[in-house]
Structure 1
Amino acid sequence: MSIVYKCRHCGGTIGRLEQQIVDTSVLGWDKLSDEDKKEMIDYTESGDVQIQAICENCEESLGHHPEYHELDYFIQ
């Protein structure tokens, strides 16, 4: 099982954890609301867990252009 962090805006892979056993509290998942978990965590058919996050480049772009927060996707 892999945990794959992907950017919700550009779709790029931020990182990957190759773990058989994962303590979700160490990853901070226990701090997420149920709604956030539904929005951010996806389980793939291959058994991997995909986490929607934001990469440094997209975070910087949002810092320079705060109006982009209104959009689901701002990179085309």
Structure 2
Amino acid sequence: MKLIYRCSECGKVIDYLELASFDEQALGFNILTEEEKKDIIDVKEEEVYINLTCNQCLEQYNWEELIYMKEIH
């Protein structure tokens, strides 16, 4: 089984792991809520996709400004 980390913005594969099985607790996904898991984890037969945002997209979108809604007057 492949665990594939990909960017949800541009679709780029960030990294991947070959696993014998998908164990949420061993990978640390057990701390996520069910809603967070639905947003981040996409299971397809023998592949599990973890949707993240790559560094290039983080820089491009200036997420810090969007998150904190900084206004300059």
- Structure number with higher helix proportion: 2
- Cα deviation, 1:6-55, whole Å, max 9, x if unaligned, reads 100000001100111454334321121100101111111x4111111111
- TM-score normalised by L of structure 1: 0.72
Structure 2 partner of 1:40: 40
Q: 1:39 to 1:64 in 2, by over 3 A?
A: closer
Residue ranges of structure 1 left out of the alignment (5+ in a row): 70-76
Structure 1 partner of 2:59: 60
Residue ranges of structure 2 left out of the alignment (5+ in a row): 68-73
Structure 1 partner of 2:70: none
Q: 1:30 to 1:66 in 2, by over 3 A?
A: same
Structure 1 partner of 2:14: 14
- TM-score normalised by L of structure 2: 0.74
Whole-angstrom CA distance in 2 between matches of 1:27 and 1:60:
27
Note the aligned Cα RMSD (angstroms): 2.1
Count the aligned residue pairs. Answer: 67
Deviation for aligned residue 1:64? 6.6
